[in-house]
Amino acid sequence: MADTSKLVHTWQTALQHLKDGNKRYVESMTITRNISLEQREKLESGQEPFAIIVTCSDSRVSPEIYFDQQLGHIFVIRNAGNIADSTTLGSIEFAAEYLKSPLIVVVGHSSCGAVAGAFGEDKYSENLQTIIDTIRPNIKSAKSADEAIHVNIAHVVSLIKENKIVQKMATTVVGAYYNIKSGEVLF
């Protein structure tokens, strides 16, 4: 199969590759992943991921799988609730500036436990609470946990758009929602 990463120069093409990959996944037509020694040797000299994905750590939400992508294609940053804290932003800065990825996609998902926790009022352990406190003030307008997921995605997108390196590199930022049951990513 073609080495997609070498063919991608614009965010529009990058987005199309992700949409095409998700369509293959939803239709159970995924491409066999090339994980051969030969392929890994090829990748040893460097990477050119065509998209940066910020998504949740949820075990049901793996972007290499739902976007049907190969090793070296997408630069993935994951944490519970797909928040844009300083480590997320630092990772984005690395990929945007040094790897020249033209597109950033923030993917929230249905049944997100972290956002549901932030939508409620419970207290959590210290570090988990830090995540909850990052999400909670930004989803106040939401009337339901599912609406909170969408509000959180929009907020994280706007935060990333404010980043100086993202602006300098003119990296495009879009939000998306992954439906766990259907497997569809809605942009």
Q: Binding residues for Zn ion, per CB under 5 A?
A: 56, 58, 112, 114
Q: Residues for the chain: how many in total?
A: 187
Phi, psi (degrees; rounded to nearest 5) at 127: -75, -35
Shortest Cβ 178–Zn ion spacing (Å): 9
Alpha helix positions (H), the chain: 4-7, 11-26, 37-43, 63-66, 86-98, 113-119, 126-135, 145-161, 164-168
For residue 48, the 8-state DSSP code is -
Residue keyed to tokens 């939401």 = 142
Shortest Cβ 108–Zn ion spacing (Å): 7
Shortest Cβ 106–Zn ion spacing (Å): 12
Nearer to Zn ion, 58 or 68 (CB): 58
Nearer to Zn ion, 89 or 114 (CB): 114
Nearer to Zn ion, 56 or 103 (CB): 56
Shortest Cβ 114–Zn ion spacing (Å): 5
Nearer to Zn ion, 52 or 112 (CB): 112
Tokens representing 119 are 């939508």
Nearer to Zn ion, 84 or 112 (CB): 112
Q: What CA–CA distance (Å, rounded) separates 28 from 42?
A: 28
Give, to the nearest 10 degrees, the angle between helix 86-98 and helix 145-161. Answer: 50
Q: Are 176 and 187 in contact (CB under 8 A)?
A: yes
Nearer to Zn ion, 56 or 139 (CB): 56
Shortest Cβ 53–Zn ion spacing (Å): 14
Phi, psi (degrees; rounded to nearest 5) at 112: -80, 115
Give the number of other Cβ atoms within 10 Å of residue 177's Cβ: 18
Shortest Cβ 16–Zn ion spacing (Å): 26
